[in-house]
Amino acid sequence: MIDNNLLTEKSGNIGDNSIPLERNEESNDMNFLKLDELILKYPELTQVLGWTKEDLIVFYEGKLLLGREAIEDEKTVLYISEDSLKRLVEYHKSLDDLKTEFENSDA
């Protein structure tokens, strides 16, 4: 009997495409900041975009932001990846640009 299972065929090559984390320098160099630090460093989050700390938590819980939680002084503290925040802001701005383009094309 011939084995035509594509999953079996592909599973033999899984190790060929994976990169161990310790060799992936890009992921190890991520800069994580607390929510307060992010808002201080990027005031446009609140001033221009109108985002609050609660919004950033929702974005994290919705997997739109990369982050990690740590226990400090018996409290859970959320750290957000600065790169993922920049990508989310960039995406948000691109949506605003598309909305503006669309509105101007109707005029």
The string of pLDDT tens digits covering residues 59-94 is: 999 999 999 999 999 999 999 999 999 999 999 999
CA dihedral 92, 36, 69, 58 (to 10 degrees): -40
Give per-residue burial for 30-63: e unless 16+ CB within 10 Å, then b: eebbebeebbeebeebeeeeebeeeebeebbeee
Quote the pLDDT of residue 50. 94
The reported pTM is 0.66
pLDDT (tens digit per residue) in 2-60: 555 555 555 555 444 444 545 444 545 679 999 999 999 999 999 999 999 999 999 99
- For residue 30, what pLDDT is reported? 77
pLDDT of residue 14: 47
Domain ranges across the chain: 31-106
Distance separating alpha carbons of residues 11 and 68, to the nearest angstrom? 30
Residues in the chain, how many?
Answer: 107
